Structure 1
Amino acid sequence: MLRNQLQEDHLSMLIRALLIALLIPLAVGPADDGARVSLTYGGETITIVRDAYGVPHVSARTLAAAAFGNGYAIAEDRIGQMDLNRRAARGEMAELVGASAVAADRETRIDGYSEAERQAQFERLPADLRAIMQAYADGVNAYLKEAQASGKKRMVANYPGAADGLDLTTIQPWKVTDTVAIGQMMARRFGGGEGGELRNQLILTFLKNAHKGDAYKLFNDALWRNDPASPTTIPPGEDGRKWPGQPHWADPTGKVIASGGSPSLGSHLPGRGHGADVGPMNPIALARAADVADQKERLALAERMGLMTKWGSYCMAVAGSKSATGNALLVGGPQMGFRTPQIAHEVHLKTDDVNVIGMGFPGIPGVLIGHNAYLAWSTTTGVNDQTDIFVETLHPTNSRQYRFKGQWRTMDERTETIAVRGGEPVQVTCLRTVHGPVVQVDEKARKAYARMSSYWQKELDTFSAIAAMARARTVADFGKACSLIPTSHNWFCATQDGDIGFWFCGLTPLRAPGVDPRLPTPGEGDHEWRGFLPFAHMPSIVNPKQGFVANWNNKPAVWWDNGDTPAWGEVFHNGRIAQLLARKPRITPQDLRDIIVDIGTYDYNAHVLLPMLRSALVQRINLPDARLTGPARKAGDYLLHWDGHAKDGSVAKVIFDAWLNEVREDLFNKPFGFIKLQGQGMFSMAMQPSLIVHVLKDKRSSVPVQYDYLKGRHPNAVMLQALNRAVEKLTKERGADMALWRFSRGTINFSPLPPIPSTDRGTYIQIVECGKPNVRGVSILPPGQSERPDSPHFGDQRELAGWFFFKEMKADAGASVSSQ
């Protein structure tokens, strides 16, 4: 039976209209046949009510009591996933799945903390946060005890070895250090901040061997430091912060280059040859160390186990001055991949002083992305460079000693044991220097590679920040909460006062002179970090003149440099969001939903490169090597009429992708073809579309290249000849009938449930209007709240998501009740 769940008299006109248009056609909810759950903790009564989509609404007088209910409810929804999360975070997955997980567990142990350190970090938290985390653990255990007493197995999706049900007696009681471990893992994975110096050193080593004097030109082209044409969150000209002294950075040759006023992420001294010399390095050891630093085994295991492996996310905040209702609006779309069960969950916590609803992670109390009674917020990965690899010089005869400030120091060492299902336990030796965990020891070269991170031992500060966000009432309150974030994130808020704000967060190291931040740093003590950039100097803005801020992991401000990875270039997907938001003088919630749909299929490579190709097609310069074949001219007609969206059946999308690959091969295969040893995908990732733009724009490029890739050819000729080759290959692969070259965008899979069409969308999405007296929002969390295939909430949001429909975020705890 169709039911209107929206309580329309409490919703603003446009949020109500959005819900009616997007939700009601599919708003058939499960019957309200369950009972209200009442619990007792610390002398308080806690009430848990589930709405028609299974979202738990927890009411209590204090936050500690609400946290108990939070833990109880999410354990009911996700105890299997919580167990997998803590195993991954602790490096204990091999105990469950066997030898295939040993390498990942070893990485986790080497790069992580001991149990004593996790406990010590917990004890350093403020007393109120300790009480909340302990209450959450107690709530998980209260549910677990009840469930175990039933003696029944529980059906759980995609838990290893539990196809016929999970025996809950095998699940160990929850500890506060489980939450600590998961929080640390999520903070690092979602905002850990690079650490690719070893990968870059390996690339430079290959370039030196293959290209001699051109090696540094190629290196600097592929790993550019700043592209002023790259889309920014803060509008150009609206950020008054310039780093005092306008410091400089330099490439490995010692050539000093202006950094545009960026923080001293690495200011290279002139006349230093190749800069801070780390001595000869063994490529094989470098490759192994790079794999550990990049979390290769951990991410591969997480992918197999259905845990979070990806980072991304988009966010839009619209000020009241640009909103059609006069109320500030916010969209949050964290992108972490799609699994069954969902990576995140939803929860609503209501106490005497907090009323917060939104998305969280199983195993961690509270709401990470959502809204309270005064404002809404979201976050995206910041991609700031907060990690460096230091190269330690080992003692000639003792590999456990390294030289630091003129003395031989002994590494910290501990041994941990990995239990292996069906096999013998594995011993792991974990080493640390003053810089951090040792990811690889190169006995031959007498080097050790240590990973130094600015957030080391500080990850739990994020809990303090999230608690402060839940209590924030103004944009200023929220900014103060952001100052506590240690890892790299962009944070956004929109308030009932009509204000919006953006803060680029995370501890940014101030590196020593003589350091190129793209490469490993000498570890003997002369190139230590000089501290951290004060939060007041980090990019931020409140109420920009354009009336909105938007981010899709792009750079925060024009003057902010890339780190050790050239993530930010002229080709970047945020350009489309900003374009769409700027088109209308006033923005409605419906407009925001339409933008979410648009960017889901928009090809951001085409956003910059397609106009360049079209220009070449129209100009048709009179050069022998710029002539098109007949089929290529027909392909050009498809491209001239393409709207840039990767929709099912699009012929132009197939042609454009083939053309882009041909241009990449033409320009970069000879100098960088060695990267293909890591796979064609790695080559395509390294030779980014922005680098193609840098080359094809030639002298007009925002980042002029140093190496001669064109070899005397006109850029238009390169583009048109690539189109000839692309069409020739497509004809061989797909046949002569161009109309049959149809693009398929694939699906998002929720096994064992049916898939939905694939789009570049948020794992969770919320649209919130911050009106008075009520802040109201809608959200979607596919496939559903529960991990249990026998629950009505296992897949009840999957079909809604497929149509970009939403459900109400019920911020009043007296909502309808449904069973699990």
Structure 2
Amino acid sequence: MKRALFAGLAAALLPTIAAAEVRQDGWNVRGLTAPAEIIVDRWGLAHIYAASERDTYFLQGYNAARDRLWQIDLWRKRGLGLLSASLSPDYVKQDRAARLFLYRGDMKAEWARYAPGSEARYTAFAEGINAYVDEIAAGGKPLPVEFTLSRSRPDHWRGDEIVRIRSNTLVSNAKQEVLRARVACTGGLAADRLRVRLYPDHTPEMPKGLDPCVVTPEVMADYLLATGEVAFTPGAAPAPAPLDQAAETARLDGSNNWVIAPSHTATGRPILANDPHRSLLVPSLRYVVHLEAPGLSLIGAGEPATPGVALGHNGHGAFGLTIFGTDQEDLYVYALKPGDPDSYRYRDGWEKMTIVRESIPVKGGAPVNVELRFTRHGPLLFSDPANGRAFALRTAWSEPGASGYAAASWLASAKSWSDFRKAADHWGTPPLNLIWADTTGSIGWVAAGLAPIRRNWDGLLPVPGDGRYEWRGFQKAATLPQVKDPTQGWFASANEMNLPPGYAATPPSFEWGERSRMDRISKVIASKPHFSIDDAVALQMDTHSELAPRLIALSKRLQPADPDTRRALTRLAAWDGDLSAESIAATIYETWATQHLGRVLAAHSTTPAAQAVIDLGSPDAALRILETRDPLLGKDPVGSVDAILLESLDATLADLRERLGPDMATWQWGRLHTIQVSPAIAPLADPAQRQAMTVGPLGIGGSGSTPAVAAYRGGNFAVVHGPSVRLAIDVGDWDKSVFLNMPGQSGDPGDPHYRDLFPGWAAGHYAPLSYTRAAVDRAAERIIRLKPAP
């Protein structure tokens, strides 16, 4: 098997690198309390060595500003509702929406949920960012080009602001509730089976008192503005993404992870692998960093705007994550009091909304005064006084201790399974499959995160806000599933429904990822009794689909008259399911399964109005309906299956002829399935700058159903989701661990580390995750020696 690692080559070459080739810098930094070092290695990974934990987190913030200042400054302004002050009056609506979702509770309760000392860490991190911002203002460091393009300046931070921002939380049930209500209104609730598949098998129930037709997409406008990215469209104010597109984007968020016991590895040491799937952007949504101080040793990936890391290792144990499917949102529908739109029906009376008045500063203009309304359940998203209705959202992520990934603070010092369990017990959001492996050989998994208790409904549709549908607190952490040292010798998760058989509690959700990635991962791991780091890399790059054989099996009985259709079916029948960039069968299958099968099925099975909501639907949902001869197929389900398959395949071939030409032999998957990423600010740049900022295009293999996730959205095949970062960790022999960050570590288009990891990300060539000081010194490209400023 090809050795798909930079690490082996690097180990051979790095000892020959002369010390003179290592760039040396000396900086005086105000706010630093003792001398320190940042060693940047050949892959852009910053290794931070400081004399105290406080200085380490200070320098993590300082270094984040060095590499990613524009990205993190925009993250803060978006989250706090401060875009208008920095950019233009066009962002007032987005600022108002963001402020609806800020944490407004007791900060003492907030900090108490995180590891001791967290407030000091966040404060130090913010102070480090501020120190770098001050150096820019004094002319000592360059201002990133994006600030020039946007005619803005970076702001100062406070530590508490970071945890108050909640609009970046990875949950999405509210969007699904609205879409399900739209399908129920236009085609009946059963038609939602065409759109998504529920796990475990479940029939949604219409909540008593809900008219689904009153739930319109405009209800979610503020939510979508608050949780959406910042757009730079000259001459146009930001608009919320279409609801179906936003829901699909959220559905694609996920990850793979697995952990292998020493008894099943080639070295006798555990292996932990993780590749979180997020929107593929430049700069990357993740940042890999190494933190060292007395009492602190931590390396891995996290959000660049937050201290610490969320996946990686601490020299004692390694930890990773994927999204667990807990439903942490509910949309409430209220009856407004006649003549008083600020009061709503609750039980036998009327309850007043809380009104918060704030002033939004505006660049070049007067502040805009806004009113934010809150019900007992949460922020008011939409009010329709003319029809006597209003809508608000309850979320787990508005609870104390539920800032995204902030509970990872407990993992920094975890040394054992019991320490890891304690960290999981404190986890708020997002809900996760947390995995662990330590140097004693223990491995395990815990489902973590706040899981609301719903006694009398399933959480799949909006509910009346009159008191009949209330959360009864949250499930105790100990009731969520977990396993230590599994008897099979490994554990894996890929966002699938993984509640164990006989799970006693009410399922925390019915909305999970489909199983194809997990099925492939399980098959590969089970086939390798001596699993290695190379095997982990190969599995993260695996482009085989376990979803494809299901459609091919259904198509075996087809007998088309058209020769092109017969040729297509012959190719599919001989195909091994590998969605490589060179595969022609992959092109036919993916276009059929994702672009035409669901649409034709919906046209045969429901109303035109419902079809418009369902659109392409989920391939897993469509296949389930065809496989089970669902009643939606009508009186002749077998005939309907064949007719739907043939009609959708004919549409597929016509589509591909138009896209790629008449010669089927030229229909390679990589011609359609390409990745190209540009930063959001690119529309403000000139052509030369845009070109410098753009990464790609490149044709790649995989899809949303393969372990090597390369998911696309809607009617084109441009890759928008995949692994933002990949880690494969050799637990105990840490320097043999490897990583990739897509497309690079730096956010500066002029920096070599802006895109240097992109070719390796696409081809499976990983970089070493150097951990020991000797390995870091060998890999050094630049050494920044820092001293306290006088």
Q: TM-score range by the shorter chain?
A: 0.7 to 0.9
Residue 4 of structure 1 corresponds to none
Q: 1:537 and 1:788 mapped to 2: Cα distance? A: 46
5+ residue gaps in structure 1?
1-13, 208-214, 229-248, 253-273, 618-625
Would you say the 8 A contact 1:251–1:516 is kept in 2? yes
**Are the structure 2 counterparts of residues 728 and 526 from structure 1 closer, same or farther at C-alpha, using a change threshold of 3 Å?**
closer
Name the SS of the counterpart of 1:436 in structure 2: coil
Deviation (angstroms), 1:765:
0.9
Match of residue 423, structure 2, among 476, 481, 488 = 481
Deviation (angstroms), 1:717:
5.4
Aligned residue runs from structure 1 range 600-619, under 5 A: 602-603=544-545, 605-613=547-555, 615-616=556-557
2:199 corresponds to 1:226: yes
Residue 244 of structure 2 corresponds to none
Deviation (angstroms), 1:512:
2.8
2:536 corresponds to 1:592: yes
Residue 282 of structure 1 corresponds to 214
Aligned residue runs from structure 1 range 496-515, under 5 A: 496-513=439-456, 515=457
Paired amino acid for 1:770: V
Match of residue 742, structure 1, among 665, 668, 681 = 668
Aligned residue runs from structure 1 range 393-792, under 5 A: 393-421=335-363, 425-460=367-402, 465-487=407-429, 488-513=431-456, 515-557=457-499, 566-569=511-514, 572-599=516-543, 602-603=544-545, 605-613=547-555, 615-616=556-557, 626-660=559-593, 661-670=595-604, 671=606, 673-675=608-610, 677=612, 683-684=615-616, 687-698=617-628, 705=631, 708=634, 711=637, 713=639, 715-716=641-642, 718-720=644-646, 722-727=648-653, 730-731=656-657, 735-743=661-669, 744=671, 745-749=673-677, 752-755=693-696, 756-758=698-700, 760=710, 761-771=722-732, 774=734, 776-792=736-752
Q: 1:469 and 1:539 mapped to 2: Cα distance? A: 19
Q: 1:329 and 1:567 mapped to 2: Cα distance? A: 26
2:154 corresponds to 1:171: yes
Q: 1:591 and 1:102 mapped to 2: Cα distance? A: 50
Deviation (angstroms), 1:53:
3.1
Would you say the 8 A contact 1:628–1:724 is kept in 2? no
Deviation (angstroms), 1:558:
5.4
Q: Deviations over 1:471-497 (max 9, x none)?
A: 111223212211111121221122222
Would you say the 8 A contact 1:35–1:817 is kept in 2? no
Residue 69 of structure 2 corresponds to 79
**Are the structure 2 counterparts of residues 652 and 223 from structure 1 closer, same or farther at C-alpha, using a change threshold of 3 Å?**
closer
2:227 corresponds to 1:301: no
Name the SS of the counterpart of 2:471 in structure 1: coil
2:176 corresponds to 1:204: no
Q: 1:502 and 1:734 mapped to 2: Cα distance? A: 45
Would you say the 8 A contact 1:437–1:450 is kept in 2? yes
Would you say the 8 A contact 1:94–1:420 is kept in 2? yes
Q: 1:203 and 1:720 mapped to 2: Cα distance? A: 26
Would you say the 8 A contact 1:69–1:139 is kept in 2? yes
Deviation (angstroms), 1:38:
7.2
Name the count of aligned residue pairs: 723
Task: Decide which moves more: 69-78 or 746-755.
Answer: 746-755
Q: 2:493 and 2:368 mapped to 1: Cα distance? A: 44
Would you say the 8 A contact 1:104–1:297 is kept in 2? yes
Would you say the 8 A contact 1:39–1:47 is kept in 2? no
Task: Decide which moves more: 134-143 or 117-126.
Answer: 117-126
Would you say the 8 A contact 1:195–1:388 is kept in 2? no
**Are the structure 2 counterparts of residues 57 and 20 from structure 1 closer, same or farther at C-alpha, using a change threshold of 3 Å?**
closer
Would you say the 8 A contact 2:436–2:443 is kept in 1? yes
Deviation (angstroms), 1:439:
0.6
**Are the structure 2 counterparts of residues 345 and 216 from structure 1 closer, same or farther at C-alpha, using a change threshold of 3 Å?**
closer
Q: 2:139 and 2:663 mapped to 1: Cα distance? A: 63
**Are the structure 2 counterparts of residues 526 and 499 from structure 1 closer, same or farther at C-alpha, using a change threshold of 3 Å?**
same
Q: 2:337 and 2:749 mapped to 1: Cα distance? A: 57
**Are the structure 2 counterparts of residues 525 and 721 from structure 1 closer, same or farther at C-alpha, using a change threshold of 3 Å?**
closer
Q: Deviations over 1:499-545 (max 9, x none)?
A: 221122111111132x2421112211232112211211212222223
Name the SS of the counterpart of 1:557 in structure 2: coil
What TM-score results when the alignment is normalised by the length of structure 1? Answer: 0.80
Q: 1:303 and 1:537 mapped to 2: Cα distance? A: 45
Residue 3 of structure 1 corresponds to none
Deviation (angstroms), 1:469:
0.7
Paired amino acid for 1:200: R
Q: Deviations over 1:188-238 (max 9, x none)?
A: 1x356555323322221112xxxxxxx24324665554346xxxxxxxxxx
Would you say the 8 A contact 2:42–2:781 is kept in 1? yes
Q: 2:113 and 2:536 mapped to 1: Cα distance? A: 42
Aligned residue runs from structure 1 range 276-355, under 5 A: 276-278=208-210, 282-283=214-215, 286-293=216-223, 295=224, 298-301=227-230, 311-355=253-297
Would you say the 8 A contact 1:651–1:739 is kept in 2? yes
**Are the structure 2 counterparts of residues 97 and 410 from structure 1 closer, same or farther at C-alpha, using a change threshold of 3 Å?**
same
Q: 1:597 and 1:74 mapped to 2: Cα distance? A: 29
Would you say the 8 A contact 1:391–1:448 is kept in 2? yes
Would you say the 8 A contact 2:723–2:742 is kept in 1? no
Q: 2:442 and 2:662 mapped to 1: Cα distance? A: 56
**Are the structure 2 counterparts of residues 461 and 202 from structure 1 closer, same or farther at C-alpha, using a change threshold of 3 Å?**
closer
Would you say the 8 A contact 2:207–2:463 is kept in 1? no
Aligned residue runs from structure 1 range 41-440, under 5 A: 43-113=33-103, 121=110, 128-150=117-139, 153-156=142-145, 159=146, 161-162=148-149, 170-182=153-165, 184-186=166-168, 188=169, 190-191=170-171, 194=174, 196-207=176-187, 215-219=188-192, 222=195, 224-227=197-200, 251-252=204-205, 274-278=206-210, 282-283=214-215, 286-293=216-223, 295=224, 298-301=227-230, 311-421=253-363, 425-440=367-382
Q: 1:629 and 1:471 mapped to 2: Cα distance? A: 65
**Are the structure 2 counterparts of residues 554 and 607 from structure 1 closer, same or farther at C-alpha, using a change threshold of 3 Å?**
farther
Would you say the 8 A contact 1:459–1:486 is kept in 2? yes
Would you say the 8 A contact 1:345–1:359 is kept in 2? yes
Name the SS of the counterpart of 1:376 in structure 2: strand
**Are the structure 2 counterparts of residues 672 and 532 from structure 1 closer, same or farther at C-alpha, using a change threshold of 3 Å?**
farther
Q: 1:572 and 1:92 mapped to 2: Cα distance? A: 42
**Are the structure 2 counterparts of residues 123 and 528 from structure 1 closer, same or farther at C-alpha, using a change threshold of 3 Å?**
closer
Would you say the 8 A contact 1:318–1:500 is kept in 2? yes
Q: 1:580 and 1:736 mapped to 2: Cα distance? A: 37
Task: Decide which moves more: 807-816 or 485-494.
Answer: 807-816
**Are the structure 2 counterparts of residues 391 and 509 from structure 1 closer, same or farther at C-alpha, using a change threshold of 3 Å?**
same
Q: 1:17 and 1:605 mapped to 2: Cα distance? A: 26
What is the root-mean-square deviation in Å for CA atoms of aligned residues? 3.6
**Are the structure 2 counterparts of residues 467 and 317 from structure 1 closer, same or farther at C-alpha, using a change threshold of 3 Å?**
same
**Are the structure 2 counterparts of residues 798 and 365 from structure 1 closer, same or farther at C-alpha, using a change threshold of 3 Å?**
same
Would you say the 8 A contact 1:748–1:758 is kept in 2? no
Deviation (angstroms), 1:366:
0.9
Would you say the 8 A contact 2:3–2:534 is kept in 1? no
Identity %: 24
Deviation (angstroms), 1:99:
4.4
Q: 2:560 and 2:281 mapped to 1: Cα distance? A: 48
Q: 1:45 and 1:340 mapped to 2: Cα distance? A: 33
Name the SS of the counterpart of 2:782 in structure 1: coil
Task: Decide which moves more: 667-676 or 17-26.
Answer: 17-26
